[in-house]
Amino acid sequence: MPEEATVTVDQETQDAINIDRSKGDFRFPERNKYDAGRGLTEKTIDYISDVKQDPDWVREFRHRALKTFLDKPMPTNWATEDLNNIDFDIIRYYLSDGERPKRSWDEVPADVLETFERLGIPEQERAFLAGVEAQFDSEAAYSNVKEDLSKQGVIFVNSTEGLKEHEEIFRPWFGKVIPTGDNKFSALNSAVFSGGSFIYIPKGLKLKQPLQAYFRINSENFGQFERTLIIADEGSEVMYMEGCTAPKFETATLHSAVVELVALKGAKIQYVTVQNWSSNVYNLVTKRGLAMEDAEVRWIDCNIGSRLTMKYPGVIMKGERARGEVISIALANDGQHQDTGAKMIHAANNTTSNVVSKSISVGEGRSTYRGQVHIPKHLKGCKNNTECDALLINSNSRTDTYPAISVRGNQHATQHEASVSQVSEEMLFYMQQRGIDEGHAMSLAVNGFINDLVREFPMEYSVELKRLIDLEMEGSVG
């Protein structure tokens, strides 16, 4: 008897698998003091630079980036044609109420405060965070770090403030890990960036609590282009977490961030993302870290929302014994495409990288893994481990894996494993025979699949992931 390969998803199952996207599905009327208008031209750049009172070097940087963006073709030679559906002419590239980021929630405008309260941010800050930045459309509405940390030299501000007030630390690294021309969307971000975090952790300081940024889109036909730069000085440690939501609009919205991490000698940066954009957001993000001698960069990434996500966090291991890691979970539901992966560039001896990627495709959802591991010939003692596992729930789901491992020389150890599995009819029958209904059986199977990776996320973190955890952890207490 051939085993039935397809499992149809009924509404109950769908509900059990679905993350609570309704949580972020609300919006307030716009009240923008500054609006760059629709479309992207030299004038848009000047408008943004004027409003932000950019120094000349930044204005020039933006203009050069715009040219690069316009020159570069859409990467549809390897990526999805859906990119061609982005209409750059109807997007508004900068929206803000003209307020500076507040240091106290009491000073944040009522509608913005209510937005973040509904998302649970102030509550989380009180409970377990060392600092928070909350961005509303183009600018941060709130940004604060615990006083004792700022006294010890921790800097946690938005990028605008970073480039002006801390130019001596900001400028040498800005655009160095991810050059403007890295790809079309890094160029776009470089032209119109606004918001995002600038973080500096002084030598030897190990932050016990995480820093968090929350990115919120409130306006339709808007593009959010935050720019984050984190520098962990020698021997320091920091965990940074970001969350994102948007209401569900009728038309597509664009989110295109650039995130650069610099871990100096012996430093450790963990960057945690729980992406829960609504299903009309194009999420096209470039993220890369530089790890110097004995340093470690870890990307812990969960993508459960958006229409299309393209994101391949990378680590350049530039110093000896540097370590890079990407842990990623992607869930592609009906109408979604999660195109994610990892880039590991070994550039020194005895460097180690690890990639563990798990994707779940439900209904018409599509998951793609693209990996790149590069170890050049002249190096010795480099190691890479790559594991990609895909779980398919119903016959229409699609998953593709494109691993590219270029290893030159023979003094390295690399390992690659990939698997595609289904929630089989026999597994469901077994669980149902124990009295568990199909929906719960399915969610148990899904949560079991990602269970080992969910442990990598800070437990307290996000409402969205907590729900995921709850489903499986339902009573894991002992």
Partner 1 sequence: MSLSIQDLKASLEDGTEILKGVSLDIPKGEVHAIMGPNGSGKSTLSKVIAGHESYEVTGGNVTLDGEDILDMGIDERSRAGIFLAFQYPAEVPGVSNANFIRAALQARLAEGEEIDAVAYYKDLYDKMDLLEMDRKFTARAVNEGFSGGEKKRNEILQMLMLEPKYCIMDETDSGLDIDALKVVAKGVNAMRSPDRGFLLITHYQRLLDYIKPDHVHVMADGKIVKSGGPELALELEEKGYDFLKELVPA
List of residues contacting partner 1 (CB under 8 A): 1, 4, 424-427, 429-438, 440-441, 444-445, 447-452, 472-478
Closest to partner 1 by CB, 385 vs 451, is 451
> In the complex with partner 1, which residue's Cβ is closer, 57 or 430?
430
Least Å distance between CB 475 and partner 1?
Answer: 5
Q: Which is nearer to partner 1, 411 or 432 (CB)?
A: 432
DSSP 321: T
SS3 20: coil
Cβ(461)–Cβ(241) below 8 Å = yes
Specify whether the CB–CB gap between 385 and 372 falls below 8 A. no
Q: Cβ 436 to partner 1, closest distance in Å?
A: 5
Helix, strand or coil, per DSSP, at residue 169: helix
- The dihedral over CA atoms of 112, 113, 118, 124, expressed in degrees to the nearest 10, equals 130
Closest CB to partner 1 among residues 213, 450? 450
Query: Nearer Cβ to partner 1, position 1 or 110?
Result: 1
Residue 218 contacts residue 28 (beta carbons within 8 Å) = yes
The amino acid that residue 302 corresponds to is C
| Cα(282)–Cα(372) distance, integer angstroms | 23
In the complex, the smallest distance separating the C-beta of residue 6 from partner 1, rounded to whole angstroms, is 12
Q: Are 85 and 252 in contact (CB under 8 A)?
A: yes
Residue 345: half-sphere exposure toward Cβ, Cα within 13 Å: 13
CA distance 262 to 294: 13
Query: In angstroms, what is the minimal distance from the CB of 397 to partner 1?
Result: 18
Smallest separation, CB 119 to partner 1 (Å): 27
361 strand-pairing partners: 332, 392
- Measured in whole angstroms, the distance separating CA 388 from the mean position of its chain's CA atoms is 18
Handedness of CA 7, 11, 12, 17 (dihedral sign): positive
What are the helix (H) ranges across 5-55?
11-17, 42-52
Closest CA to 92 of 236, 16, 192: 192
CB 276, min distance to partner 1, A: 22
Which amino acid belongs to residue 390? Answer: A
Query: How many Å apart are CA 392 and CA 27, to the nearest integer?
Result: 34
Of 220, 328, 362, 346, nearest to 281 (Cα)?
Answer: 220
| Pair 342, 372: CB distance under 8 Å | yes
In angstroms, give the least distance from the CB of 467 to partner 1.
Answer: 16
**25 vs 426, which CB is nearer to partner 1?**
426
When the beta carbons of 123 and 417 are compared against partner 1, the nearer one is 417
What's the alpha-carbon Rg for the chain, to the nearest Å?
22
Q: Smallest distance, Å, CB 449 to partner 1? A: 6
Minimal distance, residue 420 CB to partner 1, in Å: 14
CA distance 36 to 444: 47
Give me the least distance between CB of 300 and partner 1, in Å please.
Answer: 18
Q: Which is nearer to partner 1, 402 or 430 (CB)?
A: 430
> Which residue number, 151 or 434, has a Cβ lying nearer to partner 1?
434
Q: In 292-409, at which residue ranges do the beta strands (DSSP E only) sit?
A: 296-303, 308-311, 314-317, 323-332, 337-346, 352-362, 366-375, 383-393, 398-407
By beta-carbon proximity to partner 1, the closer residue of 263 and 446 is 446
Min dist CB 261 to partner 1, Å, is 30
Residue 407 or 444: which CB sits closer to partner 1?
A: 444
